[in-house]
Amino acid sequence: MAKPRLLPREEALRLGPPQWRHACHVLLYAPCPDRLFGKIPLRFAVLMQMRFDGRLGFPGGFVDPQDASLEDGLNRELREELGPGVSFLRVTERDHVSAHASETVVAHFYAKRISLEELRTIEDRATHAKDHGLEAMGLVRVPLYTLRDGVGGLPAFLSNTFISCARDQLVHALETFDLVPREHLQKAVAVAQKRL
């Protein structure tokens, strides 16, 4: 399978049916002042989910023909996968980060900063979502730290199996939004690549 190719949003939008389908996913994150074991600063809480196929990915899914826009499709998918906890949330075109085309799917990636209280509400209510236990097996926070052994935390997390380009999207977002210091991120990626 060919590596997904990065496209500008405008070019990605020109790819349409019947050959192409669009999927939209979002990284939700919030500043987090908490410390692991009272010592390790967490800095941010970043949500991903365990999918029905055992892979990690971001909440979202395919845009349906009846959706008025990519963002309408994404917001519909968020309600289905995350439930009543996202009633306050509206992902917009301004939150669009990237688009990747591979084979017959254009994967649009978004990132949205929310408050820690809002993120916790999403986590608390996700089990009431229509797709919980079906398409979405549960939410997980990404550990943005590296433990003293050099493997635990983010390096181990990045060693998991991700759907499509979700790992690359995660790493790109962590760097772009300065959620992990660049040097720490580069080390975590290098350790994870050795483990894959």
Taking only the tens place, the pLDDT of each residue in 30-40 is 999 999 999 99
Which one has a higher pLDDT value, 52 or 2?
52
The overall average pLDDT reported for the chain is 95
Q: Tell me the whole-structure pTM to 2 decimals.
A: 0.94
Helical packing angle, 166-176 and 182-195, nearest 10°: 160
DSSP state of 148: T
Which one has a higher pLDDT value, 174 or 17?
174
* pLDDT tens-digit readout, 69-109: 999 999 999 999 999 999 999 999 999 999 999 889 999 99
pLDDT over 70 percentage in the chain: 99
Q: Quick one: pLDDT band at residue 3, thresholds 50, 70, 90? A: confident
Residues ≥6 apart with Cβ < 8 Å to 82: 59, 122, 125, 126, 129, 136, 139
Q: Is the pLDDT of residue 2 over 80?
A: no
Q: Quick one: pLDDT band at residue 1, thresholds 50, 70, 90? A: low
Residues ≥6 apart with Cβ < 8 Å to 83: 125, 126, 127, 128, 129, 130, 132
